Amino acid sequence: DAGVIQSPRHEVTEMGQEVTLRCKPISGHNSLFWYRQTMMRGLELLIYFNNNVPIDDSGMPEDRFSAKMPNASFSTLKIQPSEPRDSAVYFCASSTMTGTGANVLTFGAGSRLTVL
């Protein structure tokens, strides 16, 4: 397996533009997570899906952020409109979550977003 695939790896955009980040999880994993990493806040969980259904989106900063998982092999994180304070590295991770065993996440390489 190629691991968790994220695109784009780098995105530079202007304030007000729409940004879409994409993620392909590991085949067979039933859970998908979006995290944001910044120097100020560290690694924050934005949202996670279980079997393509959003379970907890309490970490999504505001209505400008939305995430979808239309099928088991694809998810998007959209920011519209983007603002400079959204600049961060966004990570997607997937796992086989059983509810009882260890929940070991496999991370993608991240998408570095810069909003000017």
Rounded distance, CA 53 to CA 39, Å?
Answer: 30
| 24 SS3 class | strand
Rounded distance, CA 59 to CA 111, Å?
Answer: 18
Rounded distance, CA 69 to CA 94, Å?
Answer: 12
- Does position 105 interact with another protein (CB under 8 A)? The reply is yes
Site string for another protein, 44-63 (x = CB under 8 A): -x--x-x----xx-------
Residue closer to another protein (CB basis): 53 or 70: 53
Choice from 23, 34, 69, 108 touching another protein (CB under 8 A): 108
Choice from 43, 83, 85, 116 touching another protein (CB under 8 A): 43
